[in-house]
């Protein structure tokens, strides 16, 4: 039986690239899609057929999250790797001397912090049954307290810091089940997270995805530092 990988936010960008590299490495991939009119996953399906299962997923909707977990359970009965990739970015040049759009900040928190928590909780029992037992998350260097340098992006940075704290707590709880939790900074990736494609970024999504996959497949020990970049370099909390 092929190993299984569940990737959220797989429509495009890094999520799509992660789906490709794991399919190329002979995994069965469960791809959560938020935008059904984005067709790249459908093209992948033509190539990989039964190795790629695509379903609608909104990580801010508990019913959607539960339906995805039930689908994986029915079709695989276990899970080797979860990659919480789905995230959003909103930047209205937030300024402590100007205006904050708290509604946008709440959306960031709901998607980037609570979204992964919903998904992780929904499939932890399946990870317990898996063999690889990796709970990976796409975080960011923006979530680091020690290396904070920005003067804006409050909502995004705080959502990633909240994610990082969440992951340390999850690791404390699931260690006894042999599950390893990882928090990845993917690099400054050319993706659509800012809305339009970011041509100013420095790393192709395929390069980041390949690096992340390599670090996951190293099967790091539970006591190894969990906050790393796509090349395996340690980041400061």
Euclidean distance between the first and the last CA atom of the chain, given in angstroms as a whole number: 37
Residue at token pair 């992948």: 44
Measured CA to CA, the distance from residue 227 to residue 115 in angstroms comes to 19
pLDDT in tens, 184-224: 999 877 666 655 656 666 688 899 999 999 999 999 999 99
pTM of the entire predicted model:
0.95
Percent composition of the chain: helix, strand, coil (DSSP 3-state, to 5):
45, 15, 40
For 115-170, write each residue's pLDDT tens digit: 999 999 999 999 999 999 999 999 999 999 999 999 888 999 999 999 999 999 99
Q: Catalogue all structural domains in the chain, each as residue range(s) with its CATH number.
A: 4-229 (3.40.50.720)
Q: How many angstroms separate the Cα of 151 from the Cα of each of 95, 97, 111?
A: 8, 11, 22
d(CA 58, CA 35): 9
| SS3 (DSSP) at 180 | strand
């Amino acid at each position: 039986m092929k190993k299984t990988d569940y990737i959220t936010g797989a429509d495009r960008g890094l999520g799509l690239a992660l789906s490709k590299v794991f399919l190329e490495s002979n995994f069965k991939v469960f791809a959560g899609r938020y935008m059904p009119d984005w067709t790249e996953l459908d093209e992948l399906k033509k190539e990989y057929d039964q190795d790629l299962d695509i379903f609608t997923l909104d990580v801010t909707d508990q019913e959607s999250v539960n339906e995805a977990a039930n689908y994986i359970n029915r079709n695989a009965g276990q899970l080797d790797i979860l990659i919480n990739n789905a995230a959003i970015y909103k930047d209205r040049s937030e300024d402590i001397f100007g205006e904050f759009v708290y509604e946008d900040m709440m959306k960031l928190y709901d998607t980037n912090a609570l979204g992964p928590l919903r998904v992780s909780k929904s499939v932890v029992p399946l990870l317990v049954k898996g063999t690889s037992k990796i709970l990976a998350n796409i975080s960011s260097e923006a979530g680091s307290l020690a290396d904070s340098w920005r003067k804006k992006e409050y909502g995004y940075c705080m959502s990633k810091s909240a994610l990082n704290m969440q992951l340390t707590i999850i690791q404390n709880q699931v260690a006894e089940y042999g599950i390893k939790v990882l928090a990845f900074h993917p690099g400054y990736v050319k993706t659509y997270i800012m809305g339009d494609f970011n041509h100013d970024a420095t790393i192709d999504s395929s390069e980041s995805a390949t690096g992340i996959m390599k670090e996951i497949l190293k099967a790091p020990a539970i006591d190894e530092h969990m906050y790393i970049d796509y090349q395996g370099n340690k980041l400061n909390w």
